[in-house]
Protein backbone atom coordinates (compact mmCIF):
# COMPACT_ATOMS: atom_id res chain seq x y z
CA UNK A 1 0.00 0.00 0.00
CA UNK A 2 1.38 3.41 -0.99
CA UNK A 3 1.79 5.81 1.90
CA UNK A 4 0.93 9.48 1.71
CA UNK A 5 2.75 12.12 3.75
CA UNK A 6 1.63 15.64 4.51
CA UNK A 7 3.11 18.47 6.54
CA UNK A 8 1.08 19.44 9.58
CA UNK A 9 1.23 22.49 11.85
CA UNK A 10 0.59 21.32 15.39
CA UNK A 11 -1.05 23.65 17.91
CA UNK A 12 0.23 21.61 20.85
CA UNK A 13 2.79 18.84 21.27
CA UNK A 14 2.61 17.82 24.91
CA UNK A 15 -0.53 16.33 26.41
CA UNK A 16 -0.66 16.61 30.20
CA UNK A 17 -2.38 13.74 31.96
CA UNK A 18 -4.69 14.34 34.87
CA UNK A 19 -2.81 11.82 37.00
CA UNK A 20 0.39 9.87 36.60
CA UNK A 21 -0.07 6.77 34.45
CA UNK A 22 0.63 3.73 36.63
CA UNK A 23 1.64 1.53 33.69
CA UNK A 24 4.21 3.80 32.04
CA UNK A 25 4.72 6.26 34.95
CA UNK A 26 4.41 9.22 32.64
CA UNK A 27 2.81 12.59 33.31
CA UNK A 28 2.92 13.70 29.68
CA UNK A 29 2.43 12.08 26.28
CA UNK A 30 3.72 13.19 22.91
CA UNK A 31 3.47 12.01 19.29
CA UNK A 32 5.82 13.52 16.65
CA UNK A 33 3.68 12.02 13.88
CA UNK A 34 -0.06 11.76 13.41
CA UNK A 35 -0.75 8.39 11.86
CA UNK A 36 1.38 5.24 11.69
CA UNK A 37 2.70 3.24 8.76
CA UNK A 38 3.08 0.00 10.71
CA UNK A 39 -0.56 -0.77 9.92
CA UNK A 40 -1.14 -3.18 12.81
CA UNK A 41 -4.47 -4.95 12.34
CA UNK A 42 -5.38 -4.75 16.04
CA UNK A 43 -4.45 -1.09 16.61
CA UNK A 44 -7.15 0.78 18.52
CA UNK A 45 -5.74 4.15 17.45
CA UNK A 46 -8.40 3.88 14.75
CA UNK A 47 -10.96 4.48 17.48
CA UNK A 48 -12.58 7.90 17.40
CA UNK A 49 -11.41 8.80 20.90
CA UNK A 50 -7.92 9.56 19.55
CA UNK A 51 -9.16 11.93 16.87
CA UNK A 52 -7.45 10.02 14.06
CA UNK A 53 -9.03 9.15 10.73
CA UNK A 54 -9.91 5.67 9.53
CA UNK A 55 -7.01 5.91 7.09
CA UNK A 56 -4.43 6.91 9.69
CA UNK A 57 -2.19 4.04 8.50
CA UNK A 58 -2.28 5.29 4.92
CA UNK A 59 -1.68 9.00 5.37
CA UNK A 60 0.89 10.27 7.85
CA UNK A 61 0.95 13.85 9.05
CA UNK A 62 4.39 15.19 9.93
CA UNK A 63 4.35 17.80 12.69
CA UNK A 64 6.87 20.10 11.04
CA UNK A 65 6.73 22.72 13.78
CA UNK A 66 7.16 20.23 16.63
CA UNK A 67 10.33 21.78 18.06
CA UNK A 68 9.01 25.33 17.86
CA UNK A 69 5.85 24.32 19.72
CA UNK A 70 7.88 22.47 22.35
CA UNK A 71 10.05 25.54 22.85
CA UNK A 72 6.87 27.41 23.82
CA UNK A 73 5.30 24.67 25.94
CA UNK A 74 8.15 23.14 27.92
CA UNK A 75 9.21 26.24 29.89
CA UNK A 76 5.67 26.41 31.31
CA UNK A 77 5.61 22.76 32.44
CA UNK A 78 7.13 21.04 35.44
CA UNK A 79 9.65 18.42 34.25
CA UNK A 80 8.28 14.91 34.47
CA UNK A 81 8.28 11.76 32.34
CA UNK A 82 7.22 12.26 28.71
CA UNK A 83 6.03 9.10 26.98
CA UNK A 84 6.19 8.70 23.20
CA UNK A 85 4.83 5.96 20.98
CA UNK A 86 1.63 5.10 22.81
CA UNK A 87 -0.57 5.87 19.80
CA UNK A 88 1.61 6.48 16.73
CA UNK A 89 5.06 4.89 16.60
CA UNK A 90 7.74 7.55 16.86
CA UNK A 91 10.19 5.38 14.90
CA UNK A 92 8.00 4.42 11.98
CA UNK A 93 9.81 4.39 8.59
CA UNK A 94 9.46 8.12 7.81
CA UNK A 95 11.58 8.92 10.86
CA UNK A 96 14.60 7.50 9.07
CA UNK A 97 14.35 10.39 6.61
CA UNK A 98 12.78 13.22 8.62
CA UNK A 99 14.52 12.70 12.01
CA UNK A 100 11.68 14.53 13.76
CA UNK A 101 11.63 12.21 16.78
CA UNK A 102 15.34 12.78 17.24
CA UNK A 103 14.80 16.55 17.26
CA UNK A 104 11.99 16.15 19.80
CA UNK A 105 14.14 14.04 22.15
CA UNK A 106 17.00 16.54 21.85
CA UNK A 107 14.61 19.33 22.81
CA UNK A 108 13.14 17.41 25.76
CA UNK A 109 16.66 16.68 26.95
CA UNK A 110 17.66 20.35 26.80
CA UNK A 111 14.76 21.18 29.09
CA UNK A 112 15.60 18.26 31.41
CA UNK A 113 12.43 16.26 30.80
CA UNK A 114 12.89 12.52 31.30
CA UNK A 115 11.71 10.55 28.29
CA UNK A 116 10.52 7.08 27.40
CA UNK A 117 9.68 5.63 24.02
CA UNK A 118 7.69 2.51 23.17
CA UNK A 119 8.36 1.27 19.66
CA UNK A 120 8.19 -1.66 17.28
CA UNK A 121 11.28 -0.48 15.41
CA UNK A 122 15.02 -1.04 15.75
CA UNK A 123 15.53 2.36 14.10
CA UNK A 124 15.61 3.69 17.67
CA UNK A 125 19.21 2.41 17.88
CA UNK A 126 20.26 5.28 15.63
CA UNK A 127 19.57 7.58 18.58
CA UNK A 128 21.00 5.35 21.30
CA UNK A 129 23.74 7.83 22.24
CA UNK A 130 21.11 10.55 22.60
CA UNK A 131 19.08 8.41 25.00
CA UNK A 132 22.21 7.52 26.95
CA UNK A 133 22.91 11.22 27.45
CA UNK A 134 19.28 11.86 28.45
CA UNK A 135 19.56 9.03 30.95
CA UNK A 136 22.69 10.56 32.46
CA UNK A 137 20.96 13.95 32.76
CA UNK A 138 17.60 12.74 34.08
CA UNK A 139 16.19 9.37 32.99
CA UNK A 140 15.37 7.55 29.75
CA UNK A 141 13.70 4.28 28.87
CA UNK A 142 13.47 2.57 25.48
CA UNK A 143 11.16 -0.45 25.35
CA UNK A 144 9.52 -2.56 22.68
CA UNK A 145 6.14 -4.03 21.83
CA UNK A 146 6.58 -7.79 21.48
CA UNK A 147 3.54 -10.08 21.74
CA UNK A 148 4.89 -13.13 19.91
CA UNK A 149 7.98 -14.46 18.18
CA UNK A 150 5.87 -16.44 15.73
CA UNK A 151 7.01 -14.89 12.46
CA UNK A 152 3.79 -15.72 10.60
CA UNK A 153 1.50 -14.19 13.23
CA UNK A 154 3.68 -11.08 13.54
CA UNK A 155 3.74 -10.56 9.76
CA UNK A 156 -0.04 -10.94 9.58
CA UNK A 157 -0.95 -8.57 12.40
CA UNK A 158 1.97 -6.07 12.22
CA UNK A 159 2.62 -5.94 8.46
CA UNK A 160 4.59 -2.68 8.37
CA UNK A 161 6.73 -3.19 11.46
CA UNK A 162 10.21 -4.70 11.81
CA UNK A 163 10.17 -8.30 12.98
CA UNK A 164 10.06 -9.17 16.70
CA UNK A 165 13.53 -10.71 16.27
CA UNK A 166 14.92 -7.32 15.22
CA UNK A 167 13.18 -5.65 18.16
CA UNK A 168 14.72 -8.17 20.55
CA UNK A 169 18.18 -7.57 19.08
CA UNK A 170 17.63 -3.84 19.57
CA UNK A 171 16.54 -4.44 23.16
CA UNK A 172 19.82 -6.26 23.79
CA UNK A 173 21.76 -3.18 22.63
CA UNK A 174 19.61 -0.84 24.73
CA UNK A 175 20.19 -3.00 27.81
CA UNK A 176 23.96 -3.07 27.16
CA UNK A 177 23.88 0.74 27.01
CA UNK A 178 22.57 0.83 30.59
CA UNK A 179 19.07 2.08 29.80
CA UNK A 180 15.87 0.74 31.26
CA UNK A 181 14.20 -1.53 28.73
CA UNK A 182 11.60 -4.26 28.56
CA UNK A 183 8.63 -5.51 26.58
CA UNK A 184 5.01 -4.55 26.27
CA UNK A 185 3.04 -7.70 25.47
CA UNK A 186 0.16 -5.54 24.39
CA UNK A 187 -2.17 -6.68 23.11
CA UNK A 188 -2.11 -10.42 23.64
CA UNK A 189 -4.66 -11.62 21.08
CA UNK A 190 -7.25 -14.13 22.34
CA UNK A 191 -6.91 -17.53 20.72
CA UNK A 192 -3.81 -16.41 18.81
CA UNK A 193 -0.97 -15.51 21.16
CA UNK A 194 -2.48 -15.52 24.67
CA UNK A 195 -1.50 -19.12 25.49
CA UNK A 196 1.23 -20.04 27.96
CA UNK A 197 3.65 -21.21 25.27
CA UNK A 198 3.65 -17.78 23.59
CA UNK A 199 3.89 -15.94 26.90
CA UNK A 200 6.75 -18.09 28.22
CA UNK A 201 8.66 -17.65 24.96
CA UNK A 202 8.42 -13.87 25.12
CA UNK A 203 9.17 -13.60 28.85
CA UNK A 204 12.16 -15.94 28.67
CA UNK A 205 13.73 -14.26 25.65
CA UNK A 206 13.14 -10.73 26.95
CA UNK A 207 14.80 -11.66 30.25
CA UNK A 208 17.76 -13.20 28.41
CA UNK A 209 18.09 -10.04 26.29
CA UNK A 210 18.47 -7.85 29.38
CA UNK A 211 14.86 -6.69 29.66
CA UNK A 212 13.94 -5.43 33.11
CA UNK A 213 10.15 -5.69 32.99
CA UNK A 214 7.17 -7.09 31.13
CA UNK A 215 3.84 -5.34 30.68
CA UNK A 216 0.79 -7.33 29.69
CA UNK A 217 -2.49 -6.14 28.29
CA UNK A 218 -5.38 -7.65 26.40
CA UNK A 219 -7.06 -6.56 23.20
CA UNK A 220 -9.79 -3.92 23.15
CA UNK A 221 -12.34 -3.87 20.35
CA UNK A 222 -13.74 -0.38 20.11
CA UNK A 223 -16.92 0.12 18.15
CA UNK A 224 -16.42 1.32 14.60
CA UNK A 225 -13.59 0.89 12.16
CA UNK A 226 -11.13 -0.73 14.60
CA UNK A 227 -13.54 -3.49 15.60
CA UNK A 228 -14.88 -3.94 12.08
CA UNK A 229 -11.42 -4.28 10.54
CA UNK A 230 -10.17 -6.72 13.17
CA UNK A 231 -13.25 -8.95 13.02
CA UNK A 232 -13.17 -8.98 9.21
CA UNK A 233 -9.53 -10.04 9.36
CA UNK A 234 -10.39 -12.89 11.73
CA UNK A 235 -13.24 -14.06 9.53
CA UNK A 236 -10.83 -14.25 6.60
CA UNK A 237 -7.77 -15.77 8.30
CA UNK A 238 -8.98 -17.30 11.60
CA UNK A 239 -12.64 -18.23 11.07
CA UNK A 240 -12.36 -21.03 13.63
CA UNK A 241 -12.01 -18.57 16.54
CA UNK A 242 -14.63 -15.96 15.65
CA UNK A 243 -17.08 -17.68 18.01
CA UNK A 244 -14.52 -17.27 20.83
CA UNK A 245 -14.50 -13.52 20.26
CA UNK A 246 -18.27 -13.44 20.29
CA UNK A 247 -18.28 -15.08 23.71
CA UNK A 248 -15.46 -12.93 25.10
CA UNK A 249 -16.54 -9.52 23.82
CA UNK A 250 -20.18 -9.58 22.84
CA UNK A 251 -20.91 -5.98 21.84
CA UNK A 252 -18.45 -4.50 24.35
CA UNK A 253 -14.97 -3.11 23.81
CA UNK A 254 -13.40 -5.21 26.57
CA UNK A 255 -13.59 -8.87 27.49
CA UNK A 256 -16.33 -10.17 29.72
CA UNK A 257 -15.91 -11.94 33.03
CA UNK A 258 -12.52 -12.79 34.45
CA UNK A 259 -10.57 -13.29 31.20
CA UNK A 260 -8.36 -10.21 31.61
CA UNK A 261 -7.57 -10.88 35.28
CA UNK A 262 -6.74 -14.53 34.54
CA UNK A 263 -4.53 -13.54 31.61
CA UNK A 264 -2.58 -10.99 33.63
CA UNK A 265 -2.41 -13.41 36.54
CA UNK A 266 -0.82 -16.05 34.30
CA UNK A 267 1.68 -13.48 33.04
CA UNK A 268 2.51 -12.55 36.65
CA UNK A 269 3.13 -16.20 37.54
CA UNK A 270 5.35 -16.77 34.50
CA UNK A 271 7.29 -13.56 35.12
CA UNK A 272 7.87 -14.63 38.72
CA UNK A 273 9.21 -17.95 37.47
CA UNK A 274 11.74 -16.13 35.30
CA UNK A 275 12.44 -13.47 37.94
CA UNK A 276 11.38 -10.45 35.92
CA UNK A 277 8.80 -7.90 37.16
CA UNK A 278 5.42 -7.79 35.44
CA UNK A 279 5.26 -4.02 35.97
CA UNK A 280 7.57 -1.21 34.98
CA UNK A 281 9.60 0.14 37.93
CA UNK A 282 8.79 3.77 38.60
CA UNK A 283 11.66 6.16 37.87
CA UNK A 284 12.64 8.53 40.67
CA UNK A 285 14.39 11.60 39.31
CA UNK A 286 17.62 12.87 40.86
CA UNK A 287 17.18 15.21 43.82
CA UNK A 288 13.38 14.92 43.75
CA UNK A 289 12.21 16.41 47.09
CA UNK A 290 9.03 14.33 46.90
CA UNK A 291 10.72 11.04 46.03
CA UNK A 292 9.20 9.30 49.06
CA UNK A 293 5.70 10.31 47.96
CA UNK A 294 6.30 8.73 44.56
CA UNK A 295 7.64 5.51 46.06
CA UNK A 296 4.69 5.17 48.44
CA UNK A 297 2.22 5.96 45.64
CA UNK A 298 3.88 3.30 43.49
CA UNK A 299 3.50 0.70 46.24
CA UNK A 300 -0.17 1.57 46.69
CA UNK A 301 -0.85 1.38 42.95
CA UNK A 302 0.93 -1.98 42.74
CA UNK A 303 -1.29 -3.23 45.56
CA UNK A 304 -4.33 -2.02 43.63
CA UNK A 305 -3.16 -3.92 40.54
CA UNK A 306 -2.58 -7.08 42.59
CA UNK A 307 -6.06 -6.81 44.07
CA UNK A 308 -7.47 -6.44 40.55
CA UNK A 309 -5.80 -9.69 39.52
CA UNK A 310 -7.26 -11.33 42.62
CA UNK A 311 -10.68 -9.99 41.58
CA UNK A 312 -11.04 -8.31 44.95
CA UNK A 313 -13.92 -6.02 45.80
CA UNK A 314 -13.70 -2.91 43.64
CA UNK A 315 -14.05 -0.73 46.75
CA UNK A 316 -10.72 -2.06 48.05
CA UNK A 317 -9.03 -1.50 44.70
CA UNK A 318 -10.24 2.08 44.52
CA UNK A 319 -9.26 2.76 48.12
CA UNK A 320 -5.65 2.03 47.24
CA UNK A 321 -5.86 4.02 44.03
CA UNK A 322 -7.36 7.11 45.62
CA UNK A 323 -4.81 7.08 48.43
CA UNK A 324 -2.00 6.70 45.90
CA UNK A 325 -3.21 9.64 43.85
CA UNK A 326 -3.62 11.83 46.92
CA UNK A 327 -0.06 11.13 48.09
CA UNK A 328 1.38 11.47 44.60
CA UNK A 329 -0.16 14.90 44.16
CA UNK A 330 0.71 16.31 47.61
CA UNK A 331 3.07 19.23 47.87
CA UNK A 332 4.39 18.10 51.28
CA UNK A 333 6.93 15.35 51.84
CA UNK A 334 5.24 12.33 53.41
CA UNK A 335 8.37 11.37 55.36
CA UNK A 336 8.41 14.81 57.00
CA UNK A 337 4.72 14.51 57.84
CA UNK A 338 5.34 11.15 59.48
CA UNK A 339 8.34 12.39 61.48
CA UNK A 340 6.34 15.34 62.82
CA UNK A 341 2.98 13.75 63.54
CA UNK A 342 3.35 9.98 63.21
CA UNK A 343 0.49 7.78 62.10
CA UNK A 344 -2.08 10.49 62.85
CA UNK A 345 -0.41 12.66 60.24
CA UNK A 346 -0.71 9.88 57.68
CA UNK A 347 -4.39 9.46 58.51
CA UNK A 348 -4.95 13.16 57.85
CA UNK A 349 -4.04 12.64 54.17
CA UNK A 350 -7.13 12.43 51.99
CA UNK A 351 -8.07 8.82 51.31
CA UNK A 352 -5.68 7.36 53.89
CA UNK A 353 -7.55 5.78 56.77
CA UNK A 354 -6.49 3.70 59.75
CA UNK A 355 -5.73 0.54 57.79
CA UNK A 356 -3.73 2.16 54.99
CA UNK A 357 -1.84 4.41 57.43
CA UNK A 358 -0.52 1.31 59.20
CA UNK A 359 0.62 -0.15 55.89
CA UNK A 360 2.29 3.09 54.81
CA UNK A 361 3.98 3.42 58.20
CA UNK A 362 5.63 0.05 57.64
CA UNK A 363 7.01 1.24 54.31
CA UNK A 364 8.31 4.49 55.76
CA UNK A 365 10.09 3.19 58.85
CA UNK A 366 13.08 1.50 57.12
CA UNK A 367 14.02 4.83 55.57
CA UNK A 368 14.03 6.82 58.82
* Total number of domains constituting the chain: 2
Is 352 strand, coil or helix? coil
82 and 184 both lie in a single domain? yes
111 and 10 both lie in a single domain? yes
Question: What digits encode the pLDDT tens for the residues 310-353?
Answer: 999 999 999 999 999 999 999 999 999 999 999 999 999 989 98
pLDDT of residue 49: 45
Nearest residue to 134 via CA among 171, 86, 92, 79: 79
Q: Which residues pair with 84 in a beta bridge?
A: 30, 117
% residues pLDDT > 90 (the chain):
86
Q: Which residues pair with 262 in a beta bridge?
A: none
93 and 168 both lie in a single domain? yes
Is residue 368 predicted with pLDDT exceeding 50?
A: no
Question: What digits encode the pLDDT tens for the residues 282-308?
Answer: 999 888 999 999 999 999 999 999 999
108 sits in which H/E element: helix 100-110
- Give 116's contacts (C-beta < 8 A, 6+ positions apart): 24, 26, 81, 82, 83, 84, 140, 141, 142, 143, 180
Interstrand relation of 59-63 and 33-34 (parallel, antiparallel or unpaired): antiparallel
In a domain, 83, yes or no: yes
Question: What digits encode the pLDDT tens for the residues 197-249?
Answer: 999 999 999 999 999 999 999 999 988 888 999 999 999 999 999 999 999 99
Domain end: 213, 241, 273, which one? 273
Nearest residue to 298 via CA among 332, 324, 270: 324
169 and 49 both lie in a single domain? yes
In a domain, 283, yes or no: no
Domain end: 273, 301, 328, which one? 273
The domain that holds 317 is classified in CATH as: 1.10.150.110
Q: Using CA atoms, how far apart are residues 100 and 67, in angstroms rounded to an integer?
A: 9
Is residue 48 predicted with pLDDT exceeding 60?
A: no
Question: What digits encode the pLDDT tens for the residues 238-282?
Answer: 999 999 999 999 999 999 999 999 999 999 999 999 999 999 999
In a domain, 75, yes or no: yes
Q: What is the DSSP letter of 179?
A: -
Q: Using CA atoms, how far apart are residues 317 and 321, in angstroms rounded to an integer?
A: 6
202 and 317 both lie in a single domain? no
pLDDT of residue 53: 54
CA distances from 224 to 147, 157, 243 (A): 24, 18, 19
356 and 211 both lie in a single domain? no
- Give 300's contacts (C-beta < 8 A, 6+ positions apart): 320, 321, 323, 324, 327, 356, 360
- Give 13's contacts (C-beta < 8 A, 6+ positions apart): 30, 63, 66, 69, 70, 73, 104
Nearest residue to 124 via CA among 202, 179, 80: 179
Nearest residue to 167 via CA among 105, 209, 133: 209
229 and 317 both lie in a single domain? no
172 and 265 both lie in a single domain? yes
What is the pLDDT averaged over residues 126-135? 98
In a domain, 285, yes or no: no
Domain containing residue 146: 4-273
337 and 257 both lie in a single domain? no
In a domain, 280, yes or no: no
In a domain, 97, yes or no: yes
220 and 321 both lie in a single domain? no
Amino acid sequence: MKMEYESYQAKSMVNKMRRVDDWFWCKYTLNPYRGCAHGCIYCDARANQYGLSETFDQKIFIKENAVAVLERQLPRLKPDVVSMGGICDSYQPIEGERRLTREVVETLSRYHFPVEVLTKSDLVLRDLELYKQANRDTWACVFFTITTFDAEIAAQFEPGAPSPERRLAAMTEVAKAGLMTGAAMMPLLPGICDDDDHIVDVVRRVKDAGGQFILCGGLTLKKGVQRDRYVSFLELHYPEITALYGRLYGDGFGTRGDYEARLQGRVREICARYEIPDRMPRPILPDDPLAANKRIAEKLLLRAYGLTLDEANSYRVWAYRKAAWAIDEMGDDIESIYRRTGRKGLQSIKGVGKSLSTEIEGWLQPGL
